[in-house]
Protein backbone atom coordinates (compact mmCIF):
# COMPACT_ATOMS: atom_id res chain seq x y z
CA UNK A 1 0.00 0.00 0.00
CA UNK A 2 1.21 3.49 -0.90
CA UNK A 3 0.69 6.93 0.62
CA UNK A 4 1.54 9.83 -1.64
CA UNK A 5 1.58 13.61 -1.70
CA UNK A 6 2.07 16.16 -4.46
CA UNK A 7 3.27 19.76 -4.25
CA UNK A 8 0.76 22.39 -3.18
CA UNK A 9 0.13 25.61 -5.12
CA UNK A 10 2.95 27.71 -3.65
CA UNK A 11 1.09 30.96 -4.36
CA UNK A 12 -1.33 30.04 -1.58
CA UNK A 13 0.26 27.28 0.49
CA UNK A 14 3.85 26.66 1.55
CA UNK A 15 3.15 23.95 4.12
CA UNK A 16 3.55 20.27 3.19
CA UNK A 17 1.81 17.15 4.48
CA UNK A 18 4.90 14.91 4.66
CA UNK A 19 8.26 15.81 6.20
CA UNK A 20 11.42 13.63 6.21
CA UNK A 21 11.10 12.76 9.90
CA UNK A 22 7.81 10.87 9.41
CA UNK A 23 8.89 8.74 6.41
CA UNK A 24 10.32 5.91 8.53
CA UNK A 25 7.16 5.87 10.63
CA UNK A 26 5.10 5.19 7.51
CA UNK A 27 7.56 2.54 6.36
CA UNK A 28 7.40 0.86 9.79
CA UNK A 29 3.64 0.41 9.21
CA UNK A 30 4.42 -1.38 5.94
CA UNK A 31 3.58 1.56 3.69
CA UNK A 32 5.52 3.02 0.78
CA UNK A 33 5.80 6.82 0.50
CA UNK A 34 5.69 8.48 -2.95
CA UNK A 35 6.22 12.23 -3.31
CA UNK A 36 6.37 14.57 -6.30
CA UNK A 37 9.83 15.79 -7.31
CA UNK A 38 11.06 18.98 -5.58
CA UNK A 39 8.23 18.40 -3.09
CA UNK A 40 9.60 20.62 -0.29
CA UNK A 41 12.48 22.37 -2.03
CA UNK A 42 10.89 25.74 -1.15
CA UNK A 43 11.35 24.83 2.54
CA UNK A 44 15.03 24.06 2.01
CA UNK A 45 14.39 20.30 2.01
CA UNK A 46 16.04 18.50 -0.93
CA UNK A 47 14.61 15.36 -2.51
CA UNK A 48 17.74 13.53 -1.26
CA UNK A 49 16.60 14.03 2.32
CA UNK A 50 13.34 12.24 1.56
CA UNK A 51 15.05 9.51 -0.46
CA UNK A 52 17.57 8.89 2.31
CA UNK A 53 14.66 8.15 4.64
CA UNK A 54 13.12 5.73 2.12
CA UNK A 55 10.65 7.82 0.09
CA UNK A 56 10.38 7.62 -3.72
CA UNK A 57 10.41 10.90 -5.67
CA UNK A 58 8.26 10.69 -8.83
CA UNK A 59 6.26 12.91 -11.16
CA UNK A 60 2.96 14.28 -9.81
CA UNK A 61 1.02 12.10 -12.26
CA UNK A 62 2.82 8.95 -11.06
CA UNK A 63 2.12 9.83 -7.41
CA UNK A 64 -1.60 10.38 -8.09
CA UNK A 65 -1.81 7.20 -10.16
CA UNK A 66 0.06 4.90 -7.73
CA UNK A 67 -1.13 6.04 -4.32
CA UNK A 68 -3.87 4.38 -2.31
CA UNK A 69 -4.05 7.43 -0.03
CA UNK A 70 -3.22 11.00 -1.09
CA UNK A 71 -2.09 13.25 1.78
CA UNK A 72 -2.40 16.99 1.19
CA UNK A 73 -2.56 20.27 3.07
CA UNK A 74 -5.37 21.71 0.90
CA UNK A 75 -7.84 20.34 -1.63
CA UNK A 76 -6.10 19.58 -4.97
CA UNK A 77 -6.79 21.59 -8.13
CA UNK A 78 -9.22 20.37 -10.79
CA UNK A 79 -6.45 18.89 -12.94
CA UNK A 80 -5.28 16.67 -10.05
CA UNK A 81 -8.85 15.77 -9.08
CA UNK A 82 -9.51 14.53 -12.64
CA UNK A 83 -6.61 12.07 -12.24
CA UNK A 84 -7.90 10.50 -9.01
CA UNK A 85 -9.48 7.06 -9.26
CA UNK A 86 -12.30 5.16 -7.63
CA UNK A 87 -11.62 3.97 -4.05
CA UNK A 88 -8.60 6.22 -3.58
CA UNK A 89 -8.44 8.09 -0.28
CA UNK A 90 -7.84 11.83 -0.05
CA UNK A 91 -6.94 13.34 3.34
CA UNK A 92 -6.30 17.01 4.08
CA UNK A 93 -7.87 20.27 5.22
CA UNK A 94 -10.54 20.11 2.54
CA UNK A 95 -12.80 22.88 3.90
CA UNK A 96 -16.16 21.38 2.82
CA UNK A 97 -17.95 24.69 3.39
CA UNK A 98 -15.93 26.43 0.65
CA UNK A 99 -15.13 23.48 -1.63
CA UNK A 100 -18.51 21.82 -1.88
CA UNK A 101 -18.46 21.60 -5.69
CA UNK A 102 -15.02 19.94 -5.93
CA UNK A 103 -15.88 17.52 -3.13
CA UNK A 104 -19.19 16.59 -4.78
CA UNK A 105 -17.28 15.69 -7.96
CA UNK A 106 -14.86 13.47 -6.03
CA UNK A 107 -17.58 11.77 -4.00
CA UNK A 108 -19.51 11.03 -7.22
CA UNK A 109 -16.30 9.35 -8.50
CA UNK A 110 -16.29 7.23 -5.30
CA UNK A 111 -13.16 8.86 -3.94
CA UNK A 112 -13.11 8.70 -0.15
CA UNK A 113 -12.52 12.24 1.21
CA UNK A 114 -11.51 13.00 4.79
CA UNK A 115 -11.18 16.55 6.13
CA UNK A 116 -9.04 16.86 9.24
CA UNK A 117 -10.55 20.10 10.53
CA UNK A 118 -13.72 18.06 11.25
CA UNK A 119 -11.97 15.89 13.86
CA UNK A 120 -14.07 15.34 16.98
CA UNK A 121 -12.75 16.86 20.19
CA UNK A 122 -12.08 13.59 21.98
CA UNK A 123 -8.98 12.44 23.85
CA UNK A 124 -8.08 9.80 21.25
CA UNK A 125 -8.01 12.44 18.48
CA UNK A 126 -5.72 14.91 20.25
CA UNK A 127 -2.56 13.71 18.49
CA UNK A 128 -4.30 14.29 15.13
CA UNK A 129 -5.78 17.70 16.00
CA UNK A 130 -4.54 19.93 13.18
CA UNK A 131 -6.66 22.88 14.29
CA UNK A 132 -4.84 23.02 17.63
CA UNK A 133 -1.33 22.45 16.29
CA UNK A 134 -1.71 25.08 13.56
CA UNK A 135 -3.65 27.59 15.67
CA UNK A 136 -0.96 27.43 18.35
CA UNK A 137 1.64 28.68 15.85
CA UNK A 138 -0.78 31.23 14.35
CA UNK A 139 -1.43 32.81 17.76
CA UNK A 140 2.30 33.12 18.39
CA UNK A 141 3.06 34.56 14.94
CA UNK A 142 0.21 37.09 15.09
CA UNK A 143 1.69 38.58 18.25
CA UNK A 144 5.22 38.70 16.81
CA UNK A 145 4.05 40.37 13.59
CA UNK A 146 1.78 42.90 15.30
CA UNK A 147 4.56 43.86 17.71
CA UNK A 148 6.85 44.41 14.71
CA UNK A 149 4.39 47.00 13.32
CA UNK A 150 3.82 48.68 16.71
CA UNK A 151 6.21 51.61 16.98
CA UNK A 152 6.74 51.54 20.73
CA UNK A 153 8.50 49.21 23.17
CA UNK A 154 6.38 46.33 24.52
CA UNK A 155 7.61 45.83 28.14
CA UNK A 156 7.72 48.49 30.81
CA UNK A 157 11.19 50.05 30.90
CA UNK A 158 12.52 52.21 33.71
CA UNK A 159 15.42 54.48 32.77
CA UNK A 160 17.13 57.56 34.20
CA UNK A 161 15.29 59.56 31.53
CA UNK A 162 11.89 58.26 32.62
CA UNK A 163 9.59 55.24 32.45
CA UNK A 164 8.11 53.66 29.34
CA UNK A 165 4.73 52.07 30.06
CA UNK A 166 4.06 48.45 29.05
CA UNK A 167 1.95 47.95 25.92
CA UNK A 168 -1.65 46.82 26.48
CA UNK A 169 -2.87 43.91 24.39
CA UNK A 170 -6.44 42.66 23.93
CA UNK A 171 -6.97 39.11 22.66
CA UNK A 172 -10.44 38.49 21.20
CA UNK A 173 -11.22 34.78 21.42
CA UNK A 174 -9.46 32.52 23.91
CA UNK A 175 -9.23 29.27 21.98
CA UNK A 176 -5.89 27.64 21.17
CA UNK A 177 -4.66 30.58 19.05
CA UNK A 178 -5.87 33.11 21.59
CA UNK A 179 -4.27 31.37 24.55
CA UNK A 180 -0.94 31.15 22.74
CA UNK A 181 -1.26 34.86 21.84
CA UNK A 182 -1.83 35.68 25.52
CA UNK A 183 1.16 33.60 26.62
CA UNK A 184 3.45 35.12 23.96
CA UNK A 185 2.39 38.70 24.71
CA UNK A 186 2.87 38.15 28.45
CA UNK A 187 6.35 36.68 27.91
CA UNK A 188 7.28 39.82 26.00
CA UNK A 189 6.16 42.04 28.85
CA UNK A 190 2.74 43.29 27.71
CA UNK A 191 -0.33 43.78 29.90
CA UNK A 192 -2.92 41.41 28.44
CA UNK A 193 -6.72 41.42 28.44
CA UNK A 194 -8.88 38.75 26.81
CA UNK A 195 -12.52 38.09 26.02
CA UNK A 196 -14.43 35.01 24.88
CA UNK A 197 -18.06 33.91 24.76
CA UNK A 198 -17.11 30.68 26.57
CA UNK A 199 -16.98 31.32 30.32
CA UNK A 200 -14.79 28.23 30.73
CA UNK A 201 -11.98 30.27 29.13
CA UNK A 202 -11.75 32.60 32.14
CA UNK A 203 -9.66 30.23 34.23
CA UNK A 204 -7.32 29.46 31.31
CA UNK A 205 -6.80 33.16 30.53
CA UNK A 206 -6.07 34.01 34.17
CA UNK A 207 -3.67 31.07 34.52
CA UNK A 208 -1.57 32.69 31.77
CA UNK A 209 -1.57 36.06 33.52
CA UNK A 210 -4.28 37.72 31.42
CA UNK A 211 -7.30 39.65 32.68
CA UNK A 212 -10.59 38.15 31.48
CA UNK A 213 -13.23 40.68 30.46
CA UNK A 214 -16.64 39.39 31.48
CA UNK A 215 -19.86 40.67 29.97
CA UNK A 216 -22.47 41.32 32.66
CA UNK A 217 -25.03 38.51 32.82
CA UNK A 218 -23.03 36.41 30.34
CA UNK A 219 -24.12 32.88 29.53
CA UNK A 220 -21.75 30.13 28.53
CA UNK A 221 -21.85 29.95 24.71
CA UNK A 222 -19.96 26.69 24.20
CA UNK A 223 -20.95 23.70 22.10
CA UNK A 224 -20.61 20.11 23.32
CA UNK A 225 -17.52 19.82 21.13
CA UNK A 226 -15.81 22.71 22.93
CA UNK A 227 -16.22 25.30 20.17
CA UNK A 228 -17.82 28.73 20.46
CA UNK A 229 -21.38 29.16 19.20
CA UNK A 230 -23.07 32.30 17.98
CA UNK A 231 -24.04 34.83 20.64
CA UNK A 232 -27.47 36.43 21.12
CA UNK A 233 -28.07 40.02 20.01
CA UNK A 234 -28.31 41.10 23.67
CA UNK A 235 -24.93 39.53 24.45
CA UNK A 236 -23.37 41.13 21.36
CA UNK A 237 -24.60 44.58 22.43
CA UNK A 238 -23.20 44.21 25.97
CA UNK A 239 -19.91 42.86 24.59
CA UNK A 240 -19.69 45.77 22.17
CA UNK A 241 -20.08 48.33 24.98
CA UNK A 242 -17.45 46.58 27.12
CA UNK A 243 -14.98 46.33 24.24
CA UNK A 244 -15.46 49.94 23.20
CA UNK A 245 -14.47 51.13 26.67
CA UNK A 246 -11.53 48.71 26.79
CA UNK A 247 -10.25 49.70 23.34
CA UNK A 248 -9.78 53.31 24.45
CA UNK A 249 -6.71 52.15 26.39
CA UNK A 250 -5.50 49.21 24.26
CA UNK A 251 -2.47 49.36 21.94
CA UNK A 252 -2.70 46.01 20.13
CA UNK A 253 -5.67 43.74 19.38
CA UNK A 254 -5.27 40.10 18.31
CA UNK A 255 -8.52 38.74 16.81
CA UNK A 256 -8.92 34.95 16.84
CA UNK A 257 -12.69 34.35 17.14
CA UNK A 258 -14.12 31.77 14.71
CA UNK A 259 -17.31 29.73 14.52
CA UNK A 260 -16.77 26.45 12.61
CA UNK A 261 -18.55 26.43 9.27
CA UNK A 262 -19.64 30.06 9.39
CA UNK A 263 -18.31 33.51 8.62
CA UNK A 264 -16.22 34.99 11.40
CA UNK A 265 -18.30 37.13 13.80
CA UNK A 266 -17.86 40.89 13.40
CA UNK A 267 -16.72 41.95 16.86
CA UNK A 268 -14.56 45.06 16.37
CA UNK A 269 -16.78 47.65 14.68
CA UNK A 270 -15.52 50.83 12.98
CA UNK A 271 -16.86 53.06 15.77
CA UNK A 272 -14.79 50.98 18.20
CA UNK A 273 -11.65 51.32 16.07
CA UNK A 274 -12.20 55.08 16.02
CA UNK A 275 -11.65 55.33 19.81
CA UNK A 276 -8.34 53.41 19.81
CA UNK A 277 -5.10 55.36 20.44
CA UNK A 278 -3.21 56.60 17.39
CA UNK A 279 -0.53 54.08 16.38
CA UNK A 280 -2.50 51.05 17.59
CA UNK A 281 -2.44 47.76 15.67
CA UNK A 282 -5.16 45.15 15.02
CA UNK A 283 -4.06 41.72 13.76
CA UNK A 284 -7.05 39.72 12.51
CA UNK A 285 -6.41 35.97 12.37
CA UNK A 286 -10.00 35.49 11.17
CA UNK A 287 -9.32 37.51 7.98
CA UNK A 288 -9.77 34.61 5.56
CA UNK A 289 -13.26 33.94 6.97
CA UNK A 290 -14.41 37.55 6.79
CA UNK A 291 -12.53 38.95 9.78
CA UNK A 292 -13.50 39.89 13.34
CA UNK A 293 -12.74 43.57 12.63
CA UNK A 294 -15.09 45.48 10.36
CA UNK A 295 -12.31 47.04 8.27
CA UNK A 296 -10.16 43.93 7.77
CA UNK A 297 -9.06 43.17 4.20
CA UNK A 298 -7.19 39.96 3.40
CA UNK A 299 -3.48 40.47 2.72
CA UNK A 300 -3.77 44.24 3.04
CA UNK A 301 -2.80 46.72 5.75
CA UNK A 302 -5.72 49.10 6.20
CA UNK A 303 -5.15 52.33 8.12
CA UNK A 304 -8.06 54.10 9.81
CA UNK A 305 -7.61 57.08 12.17
CA UNK A 306 -3.99 56.08 12.74
CA UNK A 307 -4.87 52.44 13.54
CA UNK A 308 -3.32 49.69 11.37
CA UNK A 309 -5.60 46.69 10.66
CA UNK A 310 -4.00 43.63 9.05
CA UNK A 311 -4.82 40.04 8.32
CA UNK A 312 -3.25 37.46 6.02
CA UNK A 313 -5.02 34.73 4.08
CA UNK A 314 -2.57 32.22 5.57
CA UNK A 315 -0.31 33.46 8.37
CA UNK A 316 1.30 30.02 8.59
CA UNK A 317 2.97 30.62 5.21
CA UNK A 318 5.28 32.75 7.36
CA UNK A 319 6.16 29.74 9.57
CA UNK A 320 5.90 26.92 7.02
CA UNK A 321 8.68 24.69 8.36
CA UNK A 322 7.37 24.54 11.93
CA UNK A 323 3.77 24.30 10.72
CA UNK A 324 4.64 21.45 8.31
CA UNK A 325 6.47 19.51 11.02
CA UNK A 326 3.41 19.56 13.27
CA UNK A 327 0.92 18.91 10.45
CA UNK A 328 2.94 15.94 9.14
CA UNK A 329 2.84 14.34 12.62
CA UNK A 330 -0.91 14.96 12.92
CA UNK A 331 -1.36 13.36 9.49
CA UNK A 332 0.73 10.30 10.38
CA UNK A 333 -1.29 9.76 13.56
CA UNK A 334 -4.50 9.89 11.52
CA UNK A 335 -3.13 7.34 9.01
CA UNK A 336 -1.95 5.15 11.87
CA UNK A 337 -5.52 5.06 13.16
CA UNK A 338 -6.99 4.24 9.71
CA UNK A 339 -4.43 1.62 8.60
CA UNK A 340 -5.06 -1.99 9.64
CA UNK A 341 -1.63 -3.38 10.54
CA UNK A 342 -2.72 -7.02 10.28
CA UNK A 343 -4.53 -6.77 6.94
CA UNK A 344 -1.98 -4.22 5.67
CA UNK A 345 -4.77 -2.12 4.19
CA UNK A 346 -6.77 1.04 4.84
CA UNK A 347 -10.01 0.35 6.68
CA UNK A 348 -12.82 2.91 6.52
CA UNK A 349 -14.52 1.92 9.75
CA UNK A 350 -17.50 4.23 10.19
CA UNK A 351 -18.01 2.91 13.72
CA UNK A 352 -14.80 4.76 14.60
CA UNK A 353 -15.91 8.27 15.59
CA UNK A 354 -12.70 9.80 14.17
CA UNK A 355 -13.26 8.25 10.73
CA UNK A 356 -17.02 8.89 10.72
CA UNK A 357 -16.79 12.57 11.72
CA UNK A 358 -14.00 13.44 9.28
CA UNK A 359 -15.44 11.67 6.23
CA UNK A 360 -17.04 14.11 3.80
CA UNK A 361 -20.32 12.59 2.63
Q: Give the HSE-up count for residue 143: Cα atoms under 13 Å, Cβ half-sphere.
A: 28
Residues with a catalytic annotation lie at 121, 126, 129, 132, 227
Q: What whole-number distance in Å separates Cα of residue 218 and Cα of residue 215?
A: 5
Give the containing element (helix H, strand E) for 36.
Answer: strand 32-36
Q: Return the bridge partners of 222, or none.
A: 228
The separation between the first and the last C-alpha atoms of the chain, rounded to the nearest angstrom, is 24
Contacts of 269 (CB under 8 A, 6+ apart): 240, 294
Q: What whole-number distance in Å separates Cα of residue 327 and Cα of residue 128?
A: 8
Provide the 10 A C-beta neighbour count for residue 354.
21
Q: What whole-number distance in Å separates Cα of residue 347 and Cα of residue 345?
A: 6
Phi, psi of 225 (to 5 degrees): -80, 0
Angle of helix 176-187 versus helix 130-149 axis, rounded to 10:
40
Amino acid sequence: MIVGSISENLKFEKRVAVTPDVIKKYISLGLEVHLSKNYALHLGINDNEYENEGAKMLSSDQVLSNSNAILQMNIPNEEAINKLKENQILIGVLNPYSNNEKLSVMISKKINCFSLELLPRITRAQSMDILSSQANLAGYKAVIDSFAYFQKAIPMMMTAAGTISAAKVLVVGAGVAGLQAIATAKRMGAIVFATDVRLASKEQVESLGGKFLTVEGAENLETEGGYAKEASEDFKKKQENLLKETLKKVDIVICTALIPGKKAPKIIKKNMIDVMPNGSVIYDLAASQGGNAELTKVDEIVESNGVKIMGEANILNRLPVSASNLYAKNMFNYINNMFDKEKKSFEINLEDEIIEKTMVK
